[in-house]
Structure 1
Amino acid sequence: MGRMARVCVQSLMKVVNAGLGMVGIAMILYALWMLRVWLRHLQSDTAPIPWFIYTILGLGVTLCVIFCSGHIAAETANGCCLYIYMVFVFLLFVLEAAVTADIFLNHSWEEDFPEDPSKNLDQLKQFIRKNFDICKWIGLTVVSVQGLSILLAMILKALGPHSERYYESDDDYLPDRVPLLKNYVPPQSYAVNDQTYGKNGSWNTRTNSKGSR
């Protein structure tokens, strides 16, 4: 029963974690598209790339790294990997919460960010304002996925790793589980020869009786 529950949690965690990977890939593609447009309309080769493009690209790469770490953690069910994955997701959640709180509570939040010469930030703000309901549900879905990922990682950590991956000694390995050992020789059991034991026993008895005389 515990094995089945562990497998279900692992599969569900991989599916949920794949959502973060898809978001990361989408952000990377969006950043590459903005970079292509910026370079096409660039007047000077020495002009720096706007910070907004770097930020979106960095967030996308970070989500992909979190996705890879989460897949490894779900596959191995290792406690250290699960802790690292939960820390990554929690830090990302804190960053998102800080930015969201600054936008909703600070009316002059635009002054906290440097000027974007590519105007992509302004276009993104206009898109969010026109499609606020859709963007709101997308944001809530991403946050829910992150929270569910942390919850599943905690459950998988509580269930522990696979018990069959740990052995007390080398004798616990069965021959059918070590097919790569071509020269594997099973341990042989040695039986005591009753006849030899009988002869030795009778000889010892005769020796003791002669010594007693």
Structure 2
Amino acid sequence: MAEWVRACVQPTLKIVNSVIGLVGMSMILYSLWMIRGWFRERSELSPGFSGSSTPWFIFSFLGLGIFLCAITCSGHIAAETINGHCLSCYTAFVFLLLLLEAAITTDIFLNRHWEADFPRDPTGRLDELKDFVQSNFELCKLISILVVVAQALSIFLSMVLRSLGSDHDYYYDSDDDSVPARLSLLRKDAPNTHHIANATLFFKNHPWIVRIHDKAALLIARLCCC
């Protein structure tokens, strides 16, 4: 039963984990597109663009996408090897990511002046993303729910897979199979010892051996008297 559950949970975790990887790759591609536009604007020195300012939003977006891809790779490795330490690290990273997303979402919905919590974006890409989300709110909400559900399922499935363990853990129970082999060797040695003991008793108690022993003892006694 455990093997059947493991065979179902392992590919399911890989599929759910792939959703996080797709989001990460999309963020990387979008970040590269924003970097290309930023360099083009910097070369043209368009009005209102400050070339000395750091485009923190673009690099933060790129770093988050790389982080998601790294989590996806670690999740696939952990699901393939079913290593307890890898699954624990993967669960911890996804859980921290969920906490970060929950904190940002709470700040945005509860704080009307949430933009003041972030530094000014000189590229203007943050405003473009905000306008896109507001104009396509339903689509963005569905995508956000899908990503959160995928992350929650990843945590749950990784915990289930960690509790089940790998196939190699069940091979340690086969150590009892070596006991009969060892016992068989002991059983082969035991009759040999028994035969040797019987042969010793036979030679000690044989009448001819007893007579020789008595004559030798009498001869030694006479030599001692002389």
Whether TM-score is above 0.5 comes out as: yes
1:112 and 2:108 are equivalent in the alignment = no
Deviation at 1:163, TM superposition (A): 3.7
Residues in 2 aligned to 1:91 and 1:64: alpha-carbon distance in whole angstroms: 15
* Mapping for residues 54-69 of structure 1, pairs under 5 Å: 54-69=59-74
Residues in 2 aligned to 1:60 and 1:75: alpha-carbon distance in whole angstroms: 23
Tell me, yes or no, if the aligned pair for 2:20 and 2:69 is still in contact at 8 Å: yes
Match of 1:8 in 2: 8
Match of 2:153 in 1: 148
Residues in 1 aligned to 2:197 and 2:92: alpha-carbon distance in whole angstroms: 71
Match of 1:182 in 2: none
Aligned-pair identity (%): 50
Summarize deviations over 1:71-126 as a string: whole Å, max 9, x none. Answer: 12111222211111111001000000000011100001111111111110011011
Match of 2:202 in 1: 205
Match of 2:181 in 1: none
Summarize deviations over 1:168-212 as a string: whole Å, max 9, x none. Answer: 799989xxxxxxxxxxxxxxx9878x9xx9899658623541248
Match of 1:133 in 2: 138
When normalised by structure 2's length, the TM-score is 0.76
1:76 and 2:81 are equivalent in the alignment = yes
What residue ranges of structure 1 are gaps of 5+ in the alignment? 174-188
Match of 2:223 in 1: none
Summarize deviations over 1:19-47 as a string: whole Å, max 9, x none. Answer: 11111111111111100111111047973
Residues in 1 aligned to 2:85 and 2:35: alpha-carbon distance in whole angstroms: 37
Residues in 2 aligned to 1:61 and 1:202: alpha-carbon distance in whole angstroms: 81
Match of 1:90 in 2: 95
Cα RMSD for the two superposed structures: 3.1
Q: What letter is aligned with 1:206?
A: F
1:99 and 2:104 are equivalent in the alignment = yes
CA radius of gyration, larger in: 2
Match of 1:29 in 2: 29
More helix by share: 2
Q: What letter is aligned with 2:202?
A: T
When normalised by structure 1's length, the TM-score is 0.80
